[in-house]
């Protein structure tokens, strides 16, 4: 970038070209997020929650890394978190277009 005294404005000194290669497909964001009630909270070995329908359940650590992924059936569900280190985790359950989100503290 340089200052042009004739135009009394900043000007680009070179043109940049940007290219992309192909398209990346992503899942559309859910229409809305719903609260996922987890118990006990804090938990030591298991965390329980209720699902209306079948869904994919993911647990993320505080760094955003997926530490557990499991397909769960409708009804009362139990996840074994005994092998996870102590900390705060985000639990998500996707059922169709709905995304349920909850937090659980592991002791």
50-98 pLDDT, tens digit per residue, is 888 888 899 999 999 999 999 988 888 899 999 999 999 999 988 878 8
pLDDT of residue 7: 77
pLDDT of residue 1: 66
In whole angstroms, what is the distance from residue 72 CA to residue 82 CA? 18
Q: Is the pLDDT of residue 11 over 80?
A: no
In whole angstroms, what is the distance from residue 25 CA to residue 38 CA? 32
55 close to 75: Cβ distance less than 8 angstroms: no
Dihedral-angle region of residue 52 (phi above 0 means left; psi in -120 to 50 means alpha; beta otherwise)? alpha
pLDDT of residue 40: 93
The pairing of beta strand 9-11 with beta strand 2-4: antiparallel
Question: Which of 107, 86, 90 is closest to 49 using CA atoms?
Answer: 90
pLDDT of residue 99: 87
- Which domains occur in the chain, in start order? 30-106 (2.60.40.3080)
Render pLDDT for 19-36 as a digit per residue (tens, 0 to 9): 666 766 666 655 667 888
Answer whether 0.85 is exceeded by the pTM.
no
Average pLDDT across the chain, whole number: 84
Supply 93's token pair: 């359950």
């Amino acid at each position: 970038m340089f200052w042009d005294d004739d135009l009394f404005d900043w000007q680009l000194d070179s043109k940049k070209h940007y290219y992309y290669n192909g398209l990346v497909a992503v899942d559309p964001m859910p229409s809305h997020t719903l609260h996922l009630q987890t118990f006990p909270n804090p938990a030591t070995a298991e965390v329980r929650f209720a699902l209306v329908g079948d869904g994919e359940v993911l647990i993320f650590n505080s760094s955003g890394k997926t530490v557990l992924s499991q397909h769960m059936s409708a009804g009362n569900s139990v996840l074994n978190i005994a092998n996870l280190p102590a900390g705060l985790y985000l639990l998500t359950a996707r059922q169709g277009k709905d995304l349920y989100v909850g937090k659980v503290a592991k002791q």
